[in-house]
Amino acid sequence: MLIRDFQLTDSDALVEILKMNLQYGDPDSEGPEAMSRVHRCNAAVFLVAEEDGKPVGLSRGVYDGSKALIHIVSVHPAHQHRGIGTALVRETARQFMQRGATSVAVTVPGDDLQFWKRMSFRLTTRIMVAHPIEKVVD
């Protein structure tokens, strides 16, 4: 397995992985155009796990100079429970640490808290979301 930076050619495969894991609810924030924007963002870490030349997982997060946050980790169902998610989280955290982060948080979709607890995360707060953002601005 190889963990590498996202490439624009990964988009379609990653959308399929997100859909299989029921993590693709909003094309505007999770689709190919959004992936391209994240890829161009200096604050973002956007990694892909690859096996046999094909994407099998992804992680996406951001470091704002003070706090690091992993937004999503997703692994193709046929490749789960083999350490890919763990490797993605560790590499994401390592890159945040290199940028100066002293801690990392994660938005946890669903009920998979045990995965995160095994990686030393602890449940502290919940995140509230306003979507679409226009509702906040109006």
**For the chain, which residues make up each domain, given as ranges?**
2-137
Which residue, among 126, 49, 51, has the nearest Cα to 89 in the 3D structure?
49
pLDDT tens-digit series, residues 86-109: 999 999 999 999 999 999 999 876
* pTM of the shown model: 0.89
pLDDT of residue 38: 96
> Could you tell me how far CA 127 lies from the centroid of its own chain?
16
3-state helix, strand, coil in the chain (%, to 5): 40, 25, 35
Q: How far apart are CA 108 and CA 116, in angstroms?
A: 8
Handedness of CA 81, 18, 11, 73 (dihedral sign): negative
SS3 state of residue 105: strand
Total number of residues shown for the chain: 138
CATH code for the structural domain at 2-137: 3.40.630.30
Residues of the chain falling short of pLDDT 50: none
